[in-house]
């Protein structure tokens, strides 16, 4: 019911922009009774939208450029941006379909997760082996321009749509990077991106399992990776969540539950203060095996939920650097025209009540090691733990 109300409110704005009657340029817009019904209970301030449309229609020099659909979408986008929340975004029907395709793990683009932080469009993380990584893009890079167009007024969805494109074409990004005195110009050739949600390999007695993103196939792929590790005689697990930008909440709860027998994974608090507790789901495959979790500044959202659950439940130590710090939950609410609004509907807290927005999770074992060097360090760490367990038996 709440979703339907949200749909009706947003749709009403679009209809109001399109259907409002004409008004003179020197008078205030006075709505008719029919117009008042069109507002469907909207605040009276929204009458300004109709007034603005009529003033433009009456006075704008080139009326052929007044596209009601584009202007309605622009008004919705502006309304959403006015919330001040970087994670609440408007999707046109086209961008909604593109976003849904990404959750399946196959799309065309450069293979980089982007988001909005401190009013900037930033690279949360390039995917391993992607065109973005090959071109030298790094986590934390600020995208200043896309093909010469400033990102100043873009949300992350706007930027994503401009960066995506047909495989074989190129996109030029102007990047501000910490420590660089000038903007970097980086041209990236788009390819078809196949997101392997989970990858794994054995390093001696230790299984290194990396989750790239929490998408629809994640939990099934993750269970297969765990089973493969056990079949290969794994005595310890490194869970690599570095540069994982998050994804689907349920997938994160399922993954964390593989390492826990009881307790809480995450607490979600909505706008009315109602708390929903996501408890550990039974049937975990790896509740006793020695475990360490790797994180960095590109670990965000759902990956922070998993890391926070394992840290707070004292199941594993986190190694690496502070995480991104995205502690909110979004729901995508469909609109009648095929578009959608991604709305921040709740904040989440770790099992011990940490609200990590902006600050991120602090690793138990801080390290400046990068890439494979941190993995090798973690293998040595687990080898010692495994040896200690064997000696105590």
Tell which residue, 189, 162, 186, 157, has the closest CA to residue 174. Answer: 186
Q: What 3-state class would DSSP assign to 196?
A: coil
**Residue pointed to by tokens 């297969």:** 224
CB of 125 within 8 A of CB of 69? no
**Residue 55: which of 32, 21, 25, 90 has the closest Cα?**
25
Digit-coded pLDDT (tens) for 1-58: 443 333 333 333 333 232 332 223 233 334 445 544 454 678 888 889 889 999 999 9
Contact 92, 34 (CB under 8 A): no
Using the structure block, give the residue that is written with the tokens 């395709």.
Answer: 101
Helices (H) and strands (E) in the chain, counts: 11, 19
pLDDT value at residue 393: 61
Kindly list the distances between the CA atom of residue 279 and the CA atoms of 144, 209, 252, in Å, as whole numbers in the listed order: 41, 23, 12
Q: Distance (Å, rounded) from C-alpha 290 to C-alpha 379?
A: 11
Q: Cα–Cα distance between 225 and 207 in angstroms, integer?
A: 9
CA distance 115 to 176: 15
Distance CA 260, CA 266 (A): 13
Q: How confident is the model at residue 392, as a pLDDT?
A: 66
pLDDT of residue 160: 87
How many residues make up the chain in this entry?
393
Closest CA to 269 of 359, 354, 333, 358: 354
Instruction: Give residue for tokens 């679009």.
Output: 14
Angle value at C-alpha 81, between 65 and 213, nearest 5 degrees: 110
pLDDT at 176: 95
CB 88 within 8 A of CB 342: yes
Please spell the DSSP secondary structure of 287-350, one letter per residue: SSS-EEEEE-TT--THHHHHHHHHHHTTS-EEEES------EEEEEEE-TTS-EEEEEEEEEE-
Domains of the chain: 2-82 (no CATH), 106-194 (2.30.42.10), 198-392 (3.90.226.10)
SS3 content of the chain, % helix, strand, coil (to 5): 35, 25, 40
DSSP secondary-structure letter at 222? H
User: What are the catalytic residues?
Assistant: 301, 312, 326
Dist CA 66 CA 131 (whole Å):
38
Q: Which residue has the tokens 């930027």?
A: 159
Output the pLDDT for position 365. Answer: 97
User: What is the residue-level pLDDT of the chain in tens, covering all 393 positions?
Assistant: 443 333 333 333 333 232 332 223 233 334 445 544 454 678 888 889 889 999 999 999 998 899 999 999 999 999 999 999 988 989 888 888 877 776 666 778 999 988 888 889 999 888 888 999 999 999 899 999 999 999 998 888 788 889 988 999 999 999 999 988 999 999 999 999 887 889 999 999 999 999 998 988 899 999 999 999 999 999 999 999 999 989 899 999 999 999 999 999 999 999 999 999 999 999 999 999 999 999 999 999 999 999 999 999 999 999 999 999 999 999 989 998 889 999 999 999 999 999 999 899 999 999 999 999 999 999 999 999 888 776 666
Q: Is 251 helix (H, G, I), strand (E, B) or coil?
A: helix
Q: What angle do CA 195, 92, 269 make, to 5 degrees?
A: 70
Give the model confidence (pLDDT) of 285-315 as tens digits: 999 999 999 999 999 999 999 999 999 999 9
Predicted pLDDT at 113: 83
pLDDT score for 19: 30
Burial 35-65 (b: 16+ CB within 10 A, else e): beebbeebeeebbebbbebbbebeeeeeeee
């Amino acid at each position: 019911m709440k979703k339907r109300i949200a749909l009706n409110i947003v749709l009403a704005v679009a209809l109001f922009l399109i259907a409002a009657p004409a008004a003179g340029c020197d008078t205030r817009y006075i709505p008719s009774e029919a117009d008042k019904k069109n507002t469907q209970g909207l605040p009276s301030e929204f009458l300004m939208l109709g007034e603005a449309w009529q003033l433009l229609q009456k006075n704008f020099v080139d009326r052929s450029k007044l596209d009601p659909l584009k202007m309605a979408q622009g008004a919705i986008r502006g309304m959403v941006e006015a919330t001040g929340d970087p994670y609440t975004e408007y999707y046109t029907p086209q961008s909604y379909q593109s976003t849904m395709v990404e959750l399946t793990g196959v799309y065309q683009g450069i293979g980089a997760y982007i988001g909005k932080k401190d009013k900037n469009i930033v690279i949360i993380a390039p995917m391993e082996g992607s065109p973005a990584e090959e071109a030298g893009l790094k986590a934390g890079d600020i995208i200043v321009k896309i093909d010469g167009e400033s990102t100043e007024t873009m949300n992350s969805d706007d930027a994503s749509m401009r960066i995506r494109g047909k495989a074989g074409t190129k996109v030029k990004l102007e990047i501000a990077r910490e420590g660089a005195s000038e903007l970097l110009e980086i041209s990236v050739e788009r390819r078809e991106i196949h997101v392997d949600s989970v990858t794994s390999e054995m390093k001696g007695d230790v299984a290194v399992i990396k989750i790239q993103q929490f998408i629809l196939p994640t939990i099934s792929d993750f269970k297969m990776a765990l089973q493969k590790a056990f079949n290969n005689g794994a005595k310890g697990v490194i869970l690599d969540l570095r540069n994982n930008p998050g994804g689907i909440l349920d997938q994160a709860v399922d993954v964390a539950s593989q390492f826990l027998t009881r307790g809480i994974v995450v607490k979600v608090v909505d706008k009315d203060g109602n708390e929903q507790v996501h408890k550990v789901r039974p049937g975990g495959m790896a509740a006793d095996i020695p475990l360490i979790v790797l994180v960095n500044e590109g670990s965000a959202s759902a990956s922070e939920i998993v890391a926070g659950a394992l840290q707070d439940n004292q199941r594993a130590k986190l190694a690496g650097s502070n995480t991104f710090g995205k502690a909110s939950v979004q729901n995508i609410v469909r609109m009648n025209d095929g578009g959608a609004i991604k709305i921040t509907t709740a904040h989440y807290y770790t099992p011990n009540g940490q609200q990590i927005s902006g600050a991120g999770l602090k690793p138990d074992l801080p390290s400046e090691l990068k890439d494979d060097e941190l993995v090798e360090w973690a293998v040595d760490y687990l080898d010692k733990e495994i040896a200690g367990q064997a000696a105590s038996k």
